[in-house]
Amino acid sequence: MPETSRRGLLFGTAAVSAGVLLTACTSNEPKEAAATDTGPVASDDKPGKAVTIGFAGPQADHGWLNAINDQAKSRAKKYSDVTLDITEGSNDIAAQIGQVETLINKKVDVLVILPADGKALTQVGLKAMRAGIPVINLDRIFSNPQAFRAYIGGDNYGMGVSAGNYIGQKLKGKKDAKVIELAGIDGLELTQQRSKGFDDALKNYPNIKKVARQAADFTVESGQAKMAQLLQAQSSFDALWNHDDDQGVGALRAIQQAGRDDFLMVGGAGAKAAMDAIKADNSVLKATVLYPPTMAASAIDLARTLGQSKGISGLAELEIPAQVTLYSAVVDKDNVDQYLPTGFR
Partner 1 sequence: MKQPASEARQGGPDAPATPDPTPSSAASDASAKSTEEKKGWRALGLRLDVRNLSLLGVLAALIVVGGITKPDQFLDTNNLQLVLTQASVIGVVTVGMTFVITSGGIDLSVGAIVALASVWATTLATQEFGFAGILFTAVLVGLGCGLVNGVLIAYGGMVPFIATLAMLASARGLALMITDGKTQIVTVTSVLDLGVPDSYVLGIPPLVLVFAAVTVVGWLILNRTTFGRRTIAVGGNPEAARLAGIDVRRQRLYLYLFSGLCCGIAAFLLIILAGSGQNTNGNLYELDAIAAAIIGGTLLSGGRGTIIGSVLGVLVFTTITNIFALNNLQSDVQQIAKGAIIVAAVLVQRRTLRNGEV
Q: State the amino acid at position 25 in one-letter form.
A: C
Tell me which of 54, 57, 63, 307 binds partner 1, using CB under 8 A.
63
CB of 217 to partner 1, least distance (A): 7
| Nearest residue to 205 (alpha-carbon basis) of 233, 165, 261, 155 | 165
Q: Which is nearer to partner 1, 156 or 224 (CB)?
A: 224
The stretch among 19-27, 33-41, 80-88, 150-158 that binds partner 1 (CB under 8 A) is 19-27
Our finding on whether 250 is near partner 1 (CB under 8 A) is yes
Tell me which of 2, 30, 132, 206 binds partner 1, using CB under 8 A.
30
| Nearest residue to 153 (alpha-carbon basis) of 113, 105, 211 | 113
Alpha helices in the chain (DSSP H): 2-24, 63-78, 93-105, 122-130, 156-170, 189-202, 220-233, 245-258, 272-280, 295-307, 336-339
Q: Which is nearer to partner 1, 150 or 230 (CB)?
A: 230
Q: Which is nearer to partner 1, 78 or 253 (CB)?
A: 253
| Nearest residue to 84 (alpha-carbon basis) of 67, 69, 62, 101 | 69
Our finding on whether 229 is near partner 1 (CB under 8 A) is yes
Our finding on whether 65 is near partner 1 (CB under 8 A) is yes
178-197 burial, b at 16+ Cβ within 10 Å, e below that, comes to bbbbbbbbeeeebbbbbbeb
Q: Which is nearer to partner 1, 181 or 332 (CB)?
A: 181
Our finding on whether 233 is near partner 1 (CB under 8 A) is yes
Q: State the amino acid at position 156 in one-letter form.
A: N
Secondary structure element (H or E) that encloses residue 153, with its range: strand 150-153
Site for partner 1 in 149-168 (CB under 8 A): none
Tell me which of 113, 225, 264, 284 binds partner 1, using CB under 8 A.
225
Our finding on whether 339 is near partner 1 (CB under 8 A) is no
Q: How far apart are the C-alpha atoms of 281 and 285, rounded to whole Å? A: 7
DSSP code string of 217-245? -SSHHHHHHHHHHHHHH-S--SEEEES-H
Tell me which of 114, 152, 249, 275 binds partner 1, using CB under 8 A.
249
The residue ranges that bind partner 1 (CB under 8 A) are 15, 18-19, 22, 24-30, 59-63, 65-66, 186, 211-215, 217-226, 228-230, 232-233, 235, 246, 249-250, 252-253, 256-259, 271, 273, 345
